[in-house]
Amino acid sequence: MTRPGFEALVARLPAVSVVRQWRDDSVAKVGDKIFALLDRDPGEVWCKVSEMSFDVLTDLPGIRPAPYFARAGWVAISADSPLSGEEVEAYVVEAHRIIAAKMSARKRSALGLDQLEIRTPV
């Protein structure tokens, strides 16, 4: 995924900001919580996933536990993975939902996320 593509995708989600951090990576945040990033070198999309997805995805070629973030259930998806672009986008959107669901009701309300479907991750 390219930087413009990644940033356009996350910008469509509610209450998102994108910052350039660390080695000039594009980091997507809902409120002040990171839910996805584009690691430009080696060109991977990192995102939070459910426990079940973590177990399944990290068994696939081109997908690995994200360095520094794996203990929190993050994966790093390379362009060499068998996932389609649409599937990667769906995981990024789900990461936004997972992180937003962990926020307090007051914080979700302040960010205008009241209408966001919040369900317990599997």
Domains of the chain, residue spans: 3-110
- Whether the model pTM is above 0.85: yes
Task: Quote the mean pLDDT of the chain.
Answer: 89
Residue type for position 82: P
pLDDT in tens, 3-30: 899 999 999 999 999 999 878 889 999 9
For range 44-59, the mean pLDDT: 96
* pLDDT at site 121: 44
* Separation CA 30–CA 15 (nearest Å): 6
* pLDDT at site 116: 58
Report the topology of domain 3-110: Aspartate Aminotransferase, domain 1 (3.90.1150)
On whether the CB atoms of residues 33 and 48 are closer than 8 A, the answer is no
% of the chain beyond a pLDDT of 70: 93
pLDDT in tens, 87-119: 999 999 999 999 998 888 888 888 888 765 555
* Separation CA 79–CA 63 (nearest Å): 9
Neighbours of 3 (CB within 10 A): 15
